[in-house]
Amino acid sequence: MFYFCYNILSAFLLIPVLLYHLYRSISRGRPAALAERFGFISNDILTKTGGRPVIWLHAVSVGESIAARPLLKALRSRYPDHTILVSNTTETGRGIAATFPEIDVCIYFPFDFLPAVRRTLDLIDPKLVIIMETEIWPNFTREARKRGTPVILANGRISDRSFSGYLRFSWFFRHALQLFSRLCMQTSVDSQRIAAIGAPADKVLTCGNLKYDIPFRQTSEEERLRLRCQYSIPNNLTVITAASTHAGEEQQIISSYQELLNVNNDLFLVLVPRHPERASEVAFLLDKSGIRYCRRTALTGTGLLQSGTILLVDTVGEMMNLYALSDIAFVGGSLVPTGGHNLLEPASLGIACLFGPHMSNFREISSLVLQYEAGVQVETIREFVSSCQNLVSNVDLRQQLGQNGLKMMAENGGATGRHMEIIGGYL
């Protein structure tokens, strides 16, 4: 009865969903790829599977794709005769995933509309499906299990903010959760929460966070200088990168930067909106402030930008390079109640980081960063300015925070191995 009602509802919601995707794609200047989302996959894509058994990993967007990278590398190494297919929901996620050499095929995840799901599963015929973090689609999970395809949830998490919502609709989610072969959660708290929502307790395992298994290393001075030259940033400036920023944060950061320049003009700010299609919106704020700036896409590769300038990044896929050339990193989505973003990326390169009070989506990581003294959490914009000034003037403190971050990465890995042990039982 549940699935009958769900599919009736899905049919009614199909038009609004289509309109939303069309609007989203047009507004962001990207193809909607509706054919793939309805399960019409081109022969060019299908031939890339090479007739080999398929391991299908689904990662919604950029963050999930990056988090899946250690697992993808391990799958490629252990199962060289399998095709590794990655699906994404967002265009930016697809753009990032397509750059990973471990992947053979990239597609868009189908709408959870029964004909679309059936057509996609029939064409791909995966031997195993791995779903990153917490994506619960009733039709997809049910149809996969009908075909005898195991479905594993990897790197699962239930944030503080979303838990109450999941509980309220546990009557909906439990049907799909009971069909997962295994649910590999990041922490014991996540394991307890997914069980409370309706997952069978005997299928839930605590396997750690895959994000701790990203490669980590101290950024060399040679690499830092090379990257600064690539981005036209003078070598002698202290570079602050404000990454993955959201609406409401950029204005605060711009004002703070102007205040910092009053004390020390040997600064340079790299400003990276979480969604590059917001670059024009951020450019408007910069124009209004009167501060000098240059878009990433406008860099000519000749000459250097001046101190006190802002580089506005309107591209994707460059975040790790931008962290590597920095002295200080601010991780956005945390000065506004968005839930924060991944602190492990700057930590993995030995870069001192700052972040705001809103870290509900990364509670474990932010707690560990503070425990290891690998970063500084600020509660207000005044604290942000003060902490930035402290880090700008104290090279030793920056280096110590960076070293603490590398130590944290070294001591908290191993999730990939635990996930691979579970996955190996189904291949």
Half-sphere exposure of 197 (CA within 13 A, CB side): 30
What residues does 271 pair with on adjacent strands?
242, 312
Tokens standing for residue 224: 């830092």
Of 100, 94, 47, give the one whose Cα is nearest residue 74: 100
What value does the mean pLDDT of the chain take? 93
The predicted structure's pLDDT at residue 119 = 96
pLDDT (tens digit per residue) in 251-287:
999 999 999 999 999 999 999 999 998 999 999 999 9
Of 145, 144, 36, give the one whose Cα is nearest residue 87: 36
The answer to whether the beta carbons of residues 56 and 45 sit under 8 Å apart is: no
The predicted structure's pLDDT at residue 109 = 95
Q: What is the Cα Rg of the chain in Å?
A: 22
Q: How many DSSP H helices and E strands does the chain contain?
A: 19, 14
Q: Are strands 182-185 and 83-88 parallel, antiparallel or unpaired?
A: unpaired
Query: In 243-266, which positions are buried (b, 16+ CB within 10 angstroms) versus exposed (e)?
Result: bbbbeebbbbbbebbeebeeeeee
Distance CA 364, CA 186 (A): 9
What are the chain's domains? 29-209+413-424 (3.40.50.11720), 221-411 (3.40.50.2000)
DSSP 138-170: HHHHHHHHHTT--EEEEEE---HHHHHHHHHTH
Distance CA 320, CA 99 (A): 14
Distance CA 423, CA 154 (A): 10
Share of the chain above pLDDT 90, in %: 79
Distance CA 378, CA 254 (A): 17
Of 236, 227, 248, give the one whose Cα is nearest residue 324: 227
Q: Which residues of the chain have pLDDT under 50?
A: none
Q: Which helix (H) or strand (E) holds 177?
A: helix 170-177
129 to each of 87, 121, 167, 427, how far by Cα in Å?
10, 10, 25, 11
Distance CA 249, CA 380 (A): 12
SS3 9: helix
Query: What one-letter code names the amino acid at 219?
Result: T
Distance CA 147, CA 113 (A): 17
Q: Which helix (H) or strand (E) holds 121?
A: helix 114-124
262's CB contacts (< 8 A; 6+ apart) are: none
Share of the chain above pLDDT 70, in %: 99
Could you list the active site residues?
64
Distance CA 427, CA 56 (A): 12
DSSP 373-389: T-EEE-SSHHHHHHHHH
